[in-house]
Amino acid sequence: MKPQHLILILAALGTSACSTLSPNSATMTKQSQSATTPADALQKLKDGNARFVAGRSTNYDYRQQVKQTASGQFPYASVVSCLGSRTSSELIFDQGIGDVFNARVAGNIANPDIIGSLEFASKVSGSKLIAVVGHTKCGAVKGACDHVELGNLTGLLNKIEPAVAATPSTGGADRSSRNVAFVDKVAGQNVRQVMATIRKQSPILRQMENAGQIRIVGAMHDIETGKVTFTD
């Protein structure tokens, strides 16, 4: 390779690296939200997770995004995810301020408050997608498998126990938290049941989904790799 060619290549790489490091201050607007379809919204989450897994997360200018969203917000998706410290939606989906609504609760369950919040996000604020995201090795799911009773947590875990009952034994007869494969199967079943609960308990969201205005999907987040696999 001639020296001048090498110089040109290095220059191009340098320009690319600089552009990658440039802070991204773009935020969702009413226009961009309106132009986003449910399929587009799902692809945005998939693309963001691919960047996260590959170590290419966006360099967001959060200070500018705070200023730009102070007068209004137009998120394109709502994510129902677990309380866990390893499951932050903005991080695992590589999103900025104003991109997604977050409903976080242990075990990513759906109760009237969560469902009401999703109705606000979709019907009032224009969000196009609801993603219910469970994760591997979930502590809340483990608690449900072990039938833990602890204050107000007991009632929350009771909402996960139907998923435990509906999950066939995996990797042996052990249906406790000691059986990691079983726990993860229950977590996946819980995601499906939460999706069903949202549809059943919210005529508003069910009608919007039937009309193609929104889409409700499920996913599992692997906390060891960071990868999110969508199942619906």
Q: Which amino acid is at 49?
A: N
> Is residue 9 scored above 90 in pLDDT?
no
**What is the rounded average pLDDT of the residues 78-85?**
97
How far CA 107 is from CA of 5, 39, 83, 161, in Å, comes to 55, 26, 7, 11
Gap between the Cα atoms of 26 and 10, Å rounded = 29
For the chain, what is the domain count?
1
Q: Which two tokens stand for residue 177?
A: 């938290």
Helix (H) or strand (E) holding 154: helix 153-158
Gap between the Cα atoms of 133 and 219, Å rounded = 5
111-152 per-position pLDDT tens digit: 999 999 999 999 999 999 999 999 999 999 999 999 999 999
Q: What is the DSSP string of 180-199?
A: HHHHHHHHHHHHHHHHHHHH
> Is residue 189 scored above 90 in pLDDT?
yes
**What is the rounded average pLDDT of the residues 38-59?**
96
- The neighbouring-strand residues paired with 102 are 79
Gap between the Cα atoms of 78 and 24, Å rounded = 21
Angle between helices 203-210 and 180-201 (to 10 degrees): 90
Q: What is the CATH number of the domain that holds 111?
A: 3.40.1050.10
Can you give the residue range of the structural domain that contains 173? 3-230
Gap between the Cα atoms of 108 and 88, Å rounded = 12
Gap between the Cα atoms of 82 and 101, Å rounded = 14
Tell me the pLDDT band of 172, cut-offs 50, 70 and 90: confident
